[in-house]
Amino acid sequence: MSDPALVEVRDLTVDYVGDNSVARAVNGISFDIKAGEAFGLAGESGCGKSTVAFALARLTRMPGLVTGGEVRFNGENVLAFSKDRLRRYRWGEVSFVFQSAMNALNPVIPVSEQIEDGIVAHRPHLGREAVRARAAEMFELVGISPRRLDDYPHQFSGGMRQRICIAMALALEPKLIIMDEPTTALDVVVQRDIIEQICDLKARFGFSVLFITHDLGLMIEFCDRIGVMYAGELVEVAPASSILTAPQHPYTRALGRSFPPLTGPRVRLEGIEGTPPSLSALPGGCRFSPRCGEAIPICMTRVPLLQPTPVTGGQAACHLLK
């Protein structure tokens, strides 16, 4: 029997509503994240990855609107959570690490207060000393001396600030951490350091991760499975190990050809011709068809459905798959 899913996303649809128009940013996507699994969402900018992450945490704000589907967390319907349940869900069960730690941290408040505020809000029974001790423990966990707890965000380097955000995200022992481009603003050495630290912490505490980045190499290294999104749809889901070695969807293949290999002979990167379609003027049939070098006539008229791919044990949506 396969492991039960911690997160089940079914037919999730998110629209951005304008005065006279509606742009469908996420079009009926479904996927699971298992307990302890790192699941990545890959794809070009604007494909809907972050919109999915925000919907999972019920953080979608107008003009965005979740207009269809379900998000289940441990079997509970997140979209139907009451205000009080949602409060316990966010940070208590699902926490976040976003791209810019400087934006996530309040620059005029010592970081200790920022970590402790979250702990006090969710664990009001804890005394002052216990809260302080928990904050210090979190600092140690991410390799920063607790002596620096009362420093302000600007007194830390970019990498340390991102570590502080990870400490905040871990403070309440969540089951899922959503990481949206958590290392993008950092140089590659610090980036590697932080990813190794997250892997370590994940192995120790067993939380799941929804990992979003445009860096496919980093994602393959860190994730167990990867979902590839294009123009608001999931076009392939596969084990991370087969995304580059056995891609089943032409878009995944094209993404792989745009990515420089770290070993082996030097190869010319091909990139993907053209640009993703505007969400308010989508092509008929397969959304990738105007850019797909393998398109056949049916691609222009019929939408391909996600179907199992025995080669990888995943799924892909392409008319070429029989």
Q: Give the Cβ contact number of residue 179 at 10 Å.
A: 25
Classify residue 43 as exposed, middle or buried by CB count within 10 Å of its CB (0-12, 13-18, 19+).
Answer: buried
Residue 43 as a binder of ligand SF4 (CB under 6 A): the answer is: no
Q: Where are the strands (E) in the chain, listed by range?
A: 5-17, 22-34, 38-42, 64-73, 76-77, 94-97, 176-180, 208-212, 225-230, 233-239, 307-309, 314-316
Residue 304 as a binder of ligand SF4 (CB under 6 A): the answer is: yes
Q: Under rule CB under 6 A, which residues in 1-40 are in contact with ligand SF4?
A: none
Residue 250 as a binder of ligand SF4 (CB under 6 A): the answer is: yes
Residue 318 as a binder of ligand SF4 (CB under 6 A): the answer is: yes
CB burial string 143-167: b at 16+ within 10 A, e below? ebeeeebeeebeebeebbbbbbbbb
Residue 59 or 320 with smaller CB distance to ligand SF4: 320
d(CA 119, CA 285): 49
Residue 135 or 318 with smaller CB distance to ligand SF4: 318
> Contact at 8 Å (CB) between 223 and 40?
yes
Least gap, CB of 320 to ligand SF4 (angstroms): 5
Q: Give the Cβ contact number of residue 225 at 10 Å.
A: 22
Least gap, CB of 211 to ligand SF4 (angstroms): 24
CB burial string 282-302: b at 16+ within 10 A, e below? beebbbbbbbbeebeeebeee
Least gap, CB of 317 to ligand SF4 (angstroms): 7
Q: What binding mask, one character per residue, do residues 266-295 give for ligand SF4 by CB under 6 A, x or -?
A: --------------------x-xx--x-xx
- Give the type of residue at 108: V
Q: Under rule CB under 6 A, which residues in 152-211 are in contact with ligand SF4?
A: none
Nearest to residue 149, comparing CAs of 177, 121, 109?
A: 109
Q: How many CA atoms, within 13 angstroms, populate the side-chain half-sphere of residue 137?
A: 12
Residue 189, token pair as written in the block: 């050495």
Least gap, CB of 273 to ligand SF4 (angstroms): 13
Peptide bond into 63 cis (omega under 30): yes
Residue 234 as a binder of ligand SF4 (CB under 6 A): the answer is: no
Residue 299 as a binder of ligand SF4 (CB under 6 A): the answer is: yes
Residue 216 or 286 with smaller CB distance to ligand SF4: 286
Least gap, CB of 287 to ligand SF4 (angstroms): 8
Least gap, CB of 55 to ligand SF4 (angstroms): 25
Residue 134 as a binder of ligand SF4 (CB under 6 A): the answer is: no
Residue 246 as a binder of ligand SF4 (CB under 6 A): the answer is: no
Least gap, CB of 61 to ligand SF4 (angstroms): 32
Least gap, CB of 311 to ligand SF4 (angstroms): 15
- Give the type of residue at 193: D
Residue 105 or 317 with smaller CB distance to ligand SF4: 317
Least gap, CB of 310 to ligand SF4 (angstroms): 17
Residue 254 as a binder of ligand SF4 (CB under 6 A): the answer is: no
Residue 171 or 295 with smaller CB distance to ligand SF4: 295
Q: List the beta bridge partners of residue 95.
A: 177
d(CA 182, CA 38): 14
Residues binding ligand SF4 (CB under 6 A): 250, 286, 288-289, 292, 294-295, 299, 304, 318-320
